[in-house]
A and B are shown apart, each in its own frame.
Chain A
């Protein structure tokens, strides 16, 4: 079983609509959780970094939430744009300098 599970694996949404991506993790002790956006063929770009004490963090139209008790995080995209089409990767940093990656949520925004 993967240490970081993301769902849905892929989704298609209409431009202007909202969507929410889920990330559940099992690793511990938790250090921080990051969401990255990766355009096709490009390197990942950091969207948010959240520590244990942070419940919500926003970056423009992206809002991440974290529930460290249930080990769940979400990334909400508001008023989606065509440029939001990408893979969104959840990464959990834990223990002594260790990290676990989700396989990503593939988002396709259509006009």
Chain B
């Protein structure tokens, strides 16, 4: 158990809908990262928040947005869902601001999103 929690574990929805994925980082970790993992693309970095502020952006679509709240939990909002958005969405947390340094990233169990 990494100490990172994600809800829900599974989510099934229809195209065009909007969903919210939730992540609670390890106690004391200030950074939260969101990743998308699909079968053909592997892990893709979406976005990072540090202490409530956006820190780095990866391959995140405009239909997707995220935020980190004062209690440090984070939410990833996915809207106008398409079939291709079906994937595992992972959240990871770390104590430090910069992932390029030797900080450990601890991954949550993931949310499996299926868009029908």
Measured CB to CB, the residues of A under 8 A from B are 31-32, 41-46, 49, 51, 89, 91, 93-99, 101-104
A interface: dominant SS: strand
How close is A34's CB to chain B, nearest CB, in angstroms? Answer: 8
Chain B 90-116: CB-based contact to A (< 8 A → 1; otherwise 0): 101000001111101101111010000
Of B38-46, B65-73, B79-87, the stretch lying at the interface with chain A is B38-46
* Complex interface: chain A residues within 8 A of B98 (CB): 97
Determine whether the beta carbon of B100 is less than 8 Å from that of A31: yes
In the assembled complex, 9 residue pairs joining A and B whose CB atoms fall closer than 8 Å, in A order, are A41-B110, A41-B112, A43-B92, A44-B43, A91-B43, A97-B48, A97-B99, A98-B56, A99-B99
On chain B, the number of residues with a Cβ less than 8 Å from chain A's Cβ atoms is 25
- The yes or no answer to B55 lying at the interface (CB within 8 A) is yes
Contacts of A89 in B (CB 8 A): 42-43
Chain B residues near A44 (CB-CB < 8 A) = 43, 90, 107
Contacting residues, chain A, for B56 (C-beta < 8 A): 97-98
Q: Please provide the 9 A-B residue pairs with the shortest distance between their CB atoms, ordered closest to farther.
A: A43-B107, A103-B42, A31-B100, A101-B43, A93-B100, A97-B100, A44-B107, A97-B56, A97-B98
Query: With A43-B4, A43-B92, A45-B107 in contact, do A101 and B45 touch (Cβ < 8 Å)?
Result: yes
